[in-house]
Amino acid sequence: MRCLVDLLESSIAKKISVALAGILLVGFLAVHLAGNLFLLEGPQAFNGYAEHLANNPLLPAAEILLAALFLWHIAAALVTRAQNRKARPEGYQSQRAKGGRTWGSRSMTATALLLLAFLIVHLKSFRFASDRSDLYALVMKDFQNKYYVGFYVLAMGALALHLSHGIQSAFQTFGVNHPRYTPWIKRTSVVVAVLLAAGFAFLPVWALVAGGAR
């Protein structure tokens, strides 16, 4: 516990840990999206995949690690933001706002809040649903509701913005800053962010429009 408090007090360690947790969470999202694509194959494939996952003895440990990563990423990012605001003089703040900032960087807090709301709704609907015997039917039922689907698409817009800045910012925090590689890292961050968000947003829209796998 003491070392967690020490970590929260050291600003550079905190920044690095936020970035590291963020990159690991991007890894989770890629695996989660790949698993969700089984929805396109129909109930047998998706429920079979979910059952396979549920029977994995490593799942409880992986879920605890995942929850810890999300909580750490949010808590340490909030503390860093509060400290930066306190330390930064007004003039610097207004100067920064003028140039060099992207939509992604400007909206980090707003997109984070929307994603947190999404995560709470999402976990309640699927991970903590009372009857999870047919996950495919559960997901498809929710995705027949156009407001629910609209909320998912909106949240995935926030995910694209959050990751487009978050991934490149993590590389800067790790010290990867080079005139030749930085522009490439920035472009790749945007591409990865858009691909992940579009993949996640596609599934509910497909379920609503096409009615699921036939």
Binding residues for ligand HEM, rule: CB under 6 A, are: 29, 32, 36, 50, 53-54, 63, 66, 115, 119, 122-123, 126-127, 135, 139, 159, 200, 203-204
Q: Which is nearer to ligand HEM, 67 or 191 (CB)?
A: 67
Q: How many CB atoms lie within 10 A of CB 187?
A: 11
Question: What is the widest separation between alpha-carbon atoms in the chain?
Answer: 60
CB of 147 to ligand HEM, least distance (A): 16
CA distance 165 to 102: 8
Closest CA to 148 of 121, 174, 184, 173: 121
Size of the chain in residues: 214
Residue 6 or 63: the one with the smaller Cβ distance to ligand HEM is: 63
* Interatomic CA distance for residues 134 and 179, integer angstroms: 51
CB 26 within 8 A of CB 167: yes
Q: Which is nearer to ligand HEM, 41 or 63 (CB)?
A: 63
Toward ligand HEM, which CB reaches closer, 18 or 135? Answer: 135
CB of 94 to ligand HEM, least distance (A): 33
6/51 with CB nearer ligand HEM: 51
- The pair of three-digit structure tokens given for residue 44, joined into one six-digit string: 């047998």
Residue 93 burial by Cβ neighbours in a 10 Å radius (0-12, 13-18, 19+): exposed
Smallest distance from ligand HEM to CB 80, Å: 20
Q: How far is the CB of 154 from ligand HEM (least distance, A)?
A: 12
Indicate the residue among 18 and 203 with the shorter CB distance to ligand HEM. Answer: 203
Nearest approach in angstroms of CB 1 to ligand HEM is 24
Nearest distance, CB of residue 10 and ligand HEM, angstroms: 28
Torsion angle defined by CA atoms of residues 9, 62, 137 and 156, in that order, rounded to the nearest 10 degrees: 40
